[in-house]
Amino acid sequence: MHKEFVFAGFGGQGVLTAGMVLAYTGAAKDYDVTWIPSYGTEMRGGTANCTVKLSDEEIANPFYKRPDILVAMNKPSLLKFMDSVKKGGSIIVNSTIIHEMPEVEGVDIHMVPVSDIAAGLGNARSANLCALGAAVAVAEDIISIDDAADGISGYFTKIKDNGSNIAVLKAGYAAVKQPSADV
Amino acid sequence: MKQLMKGNHALAEAAIRAGCRFFAGYPITPQSEILEYFSWRMPEAGGSFAQTSSEIEGINQVLGAAAAGQRAITSSSGPGFTLKQEGISYMQSLEVPAVIVDVMRYGIGLGDIFYGQGDYFQATKGGGHGGYLLPVYAPSSVQENADLVALAFDTAEKYRSPVIVLSDAAIGQMCGSVELPEMKEFDIDRFEWALKGRDRHYPQGRTLTDRMYYDFGYDEYDKHERDRYDAMKENEQLWEEVQAEDAEVILVSYGISSRICKEAVKAARAEGLRLGLIRAITVWPFPTKAFQKYNGKASAYMTVEMSQMGQMAEDAFIAAHCQTPVYSMPTGRDVADSEDIIANVKDILAGRKEAF
């Protein structure tokens, strides 16, 4: 079992943190884990991304190559990474700010208004965790939504009550599992 | 218990647990998290932390602390590592054990903060003056950042030598699961040679200077140095082999590049191409013993490293003893790609790639 995730967006959208929560969750499940951020001039130019890999075997290459799951929080990130997504993989699109989705052959597209969902739950800054919940919904063979909720509690130890963060995570999960539900 | 840590943080925490109680250095990307971590953790562990006014001050403070018997460390990157070279040469002349970390970045001069592995020559060939050598460990994971910094202190004291941990920006910046070593404490007065106050045996106190002058009186000095380096070469080579036993072509790599080589070995094997890997864990002493097993048996070695021209390729060429041809795949500013590696290997087998 091996899964490759890319979380990408503007600096400040929390993509590095979303990836870190996933990596933390994977490490707690005893998977081999790598998390590697975008780095260098790219990081200083306003866009950010990280690659997270979880595996039950040793992970060799920590860099993205053929992600199973892409979380695209903005349009430039979507355009940059969408063609690298593995056939049969998934793209979680932040449809709050990305309204048009180009065709990507052989890949499941999930339009999830993660910013709207997070704001609707009174926790606008946790849109990244909403996107993480959506990503978990297409990666349940390696990580469950309850694992991810535990991951949030374990990672954000300085936050006394992660209830609101976990509610947003689960709303993102539900938006993929029951796309017709009113969110 | 395993925990998720950034490579630079794991290195710093493991150094503390290995009994290191002194850090002096200066911030520079991509090693700054090491200094940042020590800034709070070192005082917490009862040690001393100094952000010095320059790298030169940092390395010389470490020389001083180590001369007094303390486990001491400094770290830097790029041009900052260059500034430490004079101090490292002095440390080797005094035979002072300490650990110097270089989190490699790209380029000469100022270069840039991208990933890079261009400091191989500087680290392994005696980067300061006079032609000294010293053990150099090259971690390729967050776990090895922790394990090898702890081992580096032991090796440093075993030979009374400075030791380099040659990490890189990718290994330093990435996060992974890590099992940290147990906490150790050392008595600063455990060495007979270290500087102390006056006592019965040394009524004038102990002096520590270039060992050539007094301890060896010049004449025995060259032999003494040769014997030290020969012992390191004999005893300290470390490497990992991945499916090298039956390989037609063996990749030779270290650090971040070696991780991509592992991916390439797996992908090549899946298509029936017998590829293997020798991953150097010590880049000095270079793992020549691994080559002795495969020289004349493998059809080719190919080095994969992030430099403009091959650097490790020269050591592989020497280790291959003209019994197996060596090819070089320097990837410069780019991290290697496993498909490119396999394409290069196919070019070797088809006689389309020029040997190093």
- Chain B residues within 8 A of A24 when measuring between CB atoms: 4
Residues 277-336 of B with CB under 8 A from A: 335
Contact B170 A20 (CB under 8 A): no
Residue boundaries of the structural domains of chain B? 2-193+223-235, 239-349
CA dihedral B336→B342→B344→B348, nearest 10 degrees, is: 150
pLDDT at A41: 56
Q: Could you tell me if residue A182 is inside a domain?
A: no
Do domains B2-193+223-235 and B239-349 share one topology? The answer is yes
* Predicted local confidence at residue B143, as pLDDT: 97
For residue B193, the distance in angstroms to the closest alpha carbon of chain A comes to: 43
Q: Tell me which chain A residue has its CA closest to the CA of residue B333.
A: A40
Inform me whether the pLDDT recorded for A12 exceeds 90. Answer: no
Q: Number of helices (H) and strands (E), helices first, in chain B?
A: 13, 15
Report ipTM for this prediction. Answer: 0.93
pLDDT score of B17: 98
Number of residues in chain B? 356
The pLDDT score that the predictor gives to residue B254 is 98
DSSP state of A104: -
Which of B2, B115, B260 has the CB atom closest to A61's CB atom?
B260
Within 8 A by CB and 6+ apart from B33, the residues are B6, B8, B9, B12, B172
Q: A31: domain range? A: 2-177
Return the residue of B nearest to A151 by Cα: B4
Distance, CA of B230 to CA of B89 (rounded, Å): 18
Residue A45: the pLDDT is: 56
| Residues ≥6 apart with Cβ < 8 Å to A51 | A4, A5, A6, A19, A34, A35, A36, A62, A63, A64, A67
Please report the pLDDT score of residue B139 as a whole number. 98
Residue A183 lies in a domain: no
Q: Chain B residue closest to A21 (CA)?
A: B4
Q: Which residue of B has its CA nearest to A37?
A: B174
CA B341-B343-B344 angle, to 5 degrees, is 65
pLDDT for B206:
87
User: Which SS3 state, helix, strand or coil, does residue B96 take?
Assistant: coil
- Contact in structure between B179 and B2 (CB atoms under 8 Å): yes
pLDDT tier at A182, thresholds 50, 70, 90 = low
Cα separation, B279 vs A89, in Å, equals 32
Chain B nearest-CA distance from A128, in A, is 19
pLDDT in tens, A87-119: 999 999 999 999 999 989 999 999 999 999 999
Q: Please, which residues have CB within 8 angstroms of residue B21's CB and are 6 or more apart in sequence?
A: B42, B45, B46, B47, B48, B70, B71, B72
Number of structural domains chain A divides into: 1
CATH class of B239-349: alpha beta
Segment-wise mean pLDDT, segments of 10 residues, chain B, 356 residues: 92 98 97 98 98 98 98 98 98 98 96 94 97 98 98 98 98 96 95 90 88 90 97 98 98 98 98 98 98 98 97 98 98 96 98 97
- The alpha carbon of residue A27 and the mean position of all alpha carbons in its chain are separated, in whole angstroms, by 16
- For residue A130, the domain's CATH number is 3.40.920.10
**CATH homologous superfamily of domain B2-193+223-235?**
Thiamin diphosphate (ThDP)-binding fold, Pyr/PP domains (3.40.50.970)
Minimal CA–CA distance to B319: which of B345, B293, B340, B337?
B293
Give the B window 337-356 contacts with A, CB below 8 Å: 338
Q: Tens digits of per-residue pLDDT, A31-85?
A: 999 999 986 555 555 679 999 999 999 999 999 999 999 999 999 999 999 999 9
